[in-house]
Amino acid sequence: MAGDDDTRKGKAEAGAPRRLDRREVLKGLATAPALGLFGYAWQQQRRYEQARLESTVAPAAPGRVQQIDVALLGAGAQGQVLTDAMLRIPGLRFRAVCDIWVEYNQKRVVNILRKFKHEVNAYVDYREMLDKEKELDAVVIATPDFWHAQHTVDCLKAGKHVYCEKEMSNTLEGARRMIAAARETGKLLQIGHQRRSNPRYLHCYEKLLGEAKLLGRIVTVNGQWNRAVTPDLGSPDRYAIPEARLKQHGFKNMHQFRNWRWYRGLGGGPIVDLGSHQIDIYNWFLRANPSRVMASGGLLYQDPQTHEWYDTVMVVYDYDTPTGPVKAYYQTQTTNGSQGYFENFMGDQGTLLISESELNYAGRLYRDPNAPAWDTWIQRGYVTAPKIQEVREQGDSGAIADVRESVSPDEHKVPVVLRDPYHQPHLQNFFDAVRGKAKPNCPPEIGYECAVTVLKVNEAIEAKQPLSFKPEDFEV
Amino acid sequence: MYPVQSWTDVPGPIETAGAHRGSEVDVGLEIDTPRDAGCVLRFSHEAMATVFEVYAVHPDERYASQAAHAAFDLADRLEGQLSRFIPNSDIARINRLAAGECTRVGPATLECLLIARHVFDLTGGAFDVSIGTGLPLLDLDPDGFVVRAAEDGVQIDLGGIGKGYAVDLMAERLEEWGVTTALVHGGFSSVLALDAPAGSEGWPLTFSDPGGASRVLSHLSVRQAALGASGLRKGDHIVDPRTGAPGRERLAAWVVVRRPEQAGATPSTVATPRAAAVADALTTAFMILGPEEIGRLWQRNPQFEAWILPLPAAGPKGGTGLLHFGGAAG
């Protein structure tokens, strides 16, 4: 068995001349200075950090990397987050910023880019931008969801590669048009499910679940994104967008412009805004799309005058995975931020609790006490050694147990840490793909599968009964 | 010897309650309720391991609340860049640089480090965000937004300046929204007052003996100025970054830095647009510097006003006194 070979190899590499008992091995590993960062994970982390380092040591050194001319379409909160990440990626030259909020967000982003010595032109009309900015290689789109399809299609048809924020569209029809345009033009389209490029998630997918199968058979999943109450987004009075410009771009008024996520026809509510990121991970890690969904949701708290979508949603998906059936729960609510956001995968041999956050739930693993030992994977650095309680010598007393204070179950960590802003690796992957040096981690076909999975939730809430997916629903 | 000096008697022995870890604690800085408290709106938010608050007088409560939350959102973003505890923050990346390595940082991080270096120079290293690990070993390139480490092992902790910097930027965000009758504070140790409520000269603040918060040492009325505080509670100690030895003389320090007048004012060494960041940093330095050093610093930079509370043993005979530097009242 491969596992046995791996075990022997692992021990030989560790240079252990004799068989250590597990407690000694763990004790040794736990006290090694580079805790858990051996073998593969060490190399992966090191490679990731080395690549980062090389790129910042010589930012934009001529000739080192092919320069990419880029424009930002949508300079709101998310556009600003993406800009912040892109400013740390070498070889990008910002040429243009387009946003209809000239008075505030457009000006803010242009000012930041000029500080970084990017001479950018500012536009209200993206078509004018595409007409005038002939050198553009790529456009990064962070506009409201209901604009994604048209913006993406027009940029692709203008010959630009596109990075488009999730949800790729608020309608499946729009999402299909985006895929068709990408195929027709041969230009790249990456959808902004940024966890797909996060080194910790990649490690979990490839190594912990794919190779080591640490959780055994995954049977259930749960996850959440809970947010505390906040007032609706406002805007400074003096920087209001003229009504004509708002209407021209599909917004009734400034309130709707700022809070489009809550409006039917513009966004999809919290299940799409928040849930989509994590439900995409369900599909990815389970290596399947769901077969059925049941959901309950409602507008329990927010003002119905200004909130058309559900503020509280609870969902159960059924999956038929290659290893058996799975039930996956997800909830999002906007009245209490208790425990924030995470995804929790539960198998018959262990649990993986993970989150994009580097601060909370950044990747913990719990082994079922009856599951096979993880020593091999600890030695390889796939997971950290567990916290070891004080080891007491039992000597040769012949006793089967030293009776003492209770021992905590093993808790391991995923030894891969993101050192950059959250969206940077996914953007880097996109620009690497533009240079022909990588494959996009989230092509539109994957974005589409997620859109199908998530948009069905709102339908299921209205239907008040479970809805089924057919395999062909996910195909374009 | 000091340009201005006033003494306020603090009666009785210093009482202390509980140990408080860390060198930067929230000491005895309170915001008095203005007389017409009914019209002061108050909004709170947790960030940077403390509670930030916005006090505002505004006719539209919903609008003021949205403005306050725009400011809180900014504080959260700053924490994501400035906290050494967040592994993918700018500061965490700086703290992992080996000799010769560099990293690109955001404008906020760079500005915060530049102010920190400025106050480091101003105070002869008594304020040191590297806590003796070598702030001068970091090369800050303001054109490329690149930070390079000349040697291994430089460790940055913006705990003595980050809250103040956040308060500065939050106040600017409120001004963008036209919410100008307002006060912002981070954990009561960094306060920035904008315009005062109608009918008052300023926002009423007090500062108190950190050993017993009921003993009010001074009342202030503050507008268009930042007030920072540092202090020790029982069991605390503060390390002099210049020597690595614990500082032994100071119980608390407060600093007022006025915001520069409107655009066109000549920038000076202390009066930067980031008054709360500077006040925050100076209070930390004034926990270490001797009264003569603070006096000399004031003579060169009379834009600030400061009070220090020596430990009883280090204070003048006849009891613990509050030493005051600067200010019209003297």
Write down the mean pLDDT value for chain B: 83
Residue A399's pLDDT is what? 76
Contact assessment for residue B75 and residue B190, using Cβ atoms and an 8 Å cutoff: no
Give the count of Cβ contacts less than 8 A between chain A and B.
Answer: 64
- Whether B317 shows a pLDDT value over 70: the answer reads no
Check CB contact under 8 Å for A59 and B144. yes
- Tokens coding A393: 């010598």
Residue B29's pLDDT is what? 61
CA distance A379 to chain B (A): 24
The interface predicted TM-score (ipTM) is: 0.86
- B92 in A contact zone (CB under 8 Å): yes
Residue B319's pLDDT is what? 46
Check CB contact under 8 Å for B178 and A236. yes
Residues recorded for chain B = 330
In chain B, the residue whose alpha carbon lies closest to the alpha carbon of A233 is B66
For the residues of B259-278, what is the DSSP string, one character each?
Answer: PP-STTPPP-SS--S-HHHH
- B99 in A contact zone (CB under 8 Å): no
Which of A136-145, B48-57, B247-256 is predicted least confidently?
Answer: B247-256
Contact assessment for residue A118 and residue A94, using Cβ atoms and an 8 Å cutoff: yes
Check CB contact under 8 Å for B88 and A87. no
CA distance A176 to chain B (A): 35
CA distance readout (Å), A412 to A354, A366, A408, B29, B121:
12, 6, 12, 43, 45
Residue A450's pLDDT is what? 98
Taken in order A10, A16, A22, A28, the sign of the CA dihedral is negative
Say how far apart CA B184 and CA B191 lie, in whole Å.
6
Residue B326's pLDDT is what? 87
The C-alpha angle with vertex B94 and arms to B93 and B97, in degrees rounded to 5, equals 95
**What residues of chain A score a pLDDT lower than 70?**
1-64, 388-396, 407-408
In chain B, the residue whose alpha carbon lies closest to the alpha carbon of A116 is B144
B206-251 tens-digit pLDDT:
888 877 656 788 889 999 999 999 988 766 777 888 888 887 778 8
CA distance B181 to chain A (A): 15
Say how far apart CA A121 and CA B328 lie, in whole Å.
50
Residue B321's pLDDT is what? 78
CA distance A37 to chain B (A): 16
A382-407 tens-digit pLDDT:
999 987 655 555 566 777 777 777 76
In chain B, the residue whose alpha carbon lies closest to the alpha carbon of A52 is B103
Output the pTM of the full model.
0.88
Phi, psi of A50 (to 5 degrees): -65, -45
CA distance readout (Å), B278 to A140, A206, B75, B267, B310:
38, 48, 17, 13, 22
Of B93, B145, B178, the CB nearest to A238: B178
CA distance B108 to chain A (A): 11
3-state secondary structure A343-411: EEEEECCEEEEECCCCCCCCCEEEECCCCCCCHHHHHHCCCCCCCCCCCCCCCCCCCCCCCCCCCCCCE
Contact assessment for residue B229 and residue B252, using Cβ atoms and an 8 Å cutoff: yes
- A237 in B contact zone (CB under 8 Å): yes
Say how far apart CA A30 and CA A48 lie, in whole Å.
24
- B2 in A contact zone (CB under 8 Å): no
Contact assessment for residue B241 and residue B123, using Cβ atoms and an 8 Å cutoff: no
A-chain CB neighbours of B45 within 8 Å are none
CA distance B306 to chain A (A): 35
A-chain CB neighbours of B76 within 8 Å are none
CA distance A41 to chain B (A): 17
CA distance readout (Å), A442 to A64, A82, A227, B107:
26, 16, 26, 30
Say how far apart CA B241 and CA A393 lie, in whole Å.
44
Say how far apart CA B172 and CA B191 lie, in whole Å.
13
Q: Which of B167, B219, B162 is nearest to B29 (CA)?
A: B219
A-chain CB neighbours of B63 within 8 Å are 234, 237
The C-alpha angle with vertex B300 and arms to B298 and B304, in degrees rounded to 5, equals 40
Look at the block and give the residue holding tokens 């007048």. B261
| Residue A332, H or E segment | strand A324-333
Mutate to test the interface with A, among B73, B86, B88, B176 (most CBs of A within 10 A): B88
- Whether B2 shows a pLDDT value over 90: the answer reads no
- B178 in A contact zone (CB under 8 Å): yes
- Tokens coding B175: 């001004």
In chain A, the residue whose alpha carbon lies closest to the alpha carbon of B85 is A359
Say how far apart CA A114 and CA A92 lie, in whole Å.
14
Say how far apart CA B166 and CA B78 lie, in whole Å.
7
In chain A, the residue whose alpha carbon lies closest to the alpha carbon of B104 is A88
Mutate to test the interface with A, among B51, B103, B147, B173 (most CBs of A within 10 A): B103
Residue B87's pLDDT is what? 95
**With b meaning 16 or more CB within 10 Å and e meaning fewer, what string describes A289-306?**
bbbbbbbebeeeebeeee
3-state secondary structure of A182: helix
Residue B322's pLDDT is what? 87
Q: Are strands A218-226 and A324-333 parallel, antiparallel or unpaired?
A: parallel
B-chain CB neighbours of A84 within 8 Å are 106
- Whether B144 shows a pLDDT value over 80: the answer reads yes
**Residue A98 CB burial class (10 angstroms; 0-12, 13-18, ≥19):** buried
Say how far apart CA A343 and CA B142 lie, in whole Å.
40
Q: Name B258's bridge partners.
A: B225
Say how far apart CA B54 and CA B43 lie, in whole Å.
5
- Compare B6 and A66 and report the one with higher pLDDT: A66
Of A232, A235, A358, the CB nearest to B86: A358
Say how far apart CA B196 and CA B14 lie, in whole Å.
34
- Listed by number, the residues of chain B in 129-158 with a beta carbon closer than 8 Å to a beta carbon of chain A are 143-146
- Whether B1 shows a pLDDT value over 60: the answer reads no
Of A116, A234, A421, the CB nearest to B66: A234
Of A234, A239, A419, the CB nearest to B88: A419
Contact assessment for residue B129 and residue B156, using Cβ atoms and an 8 Å cutoff: yes
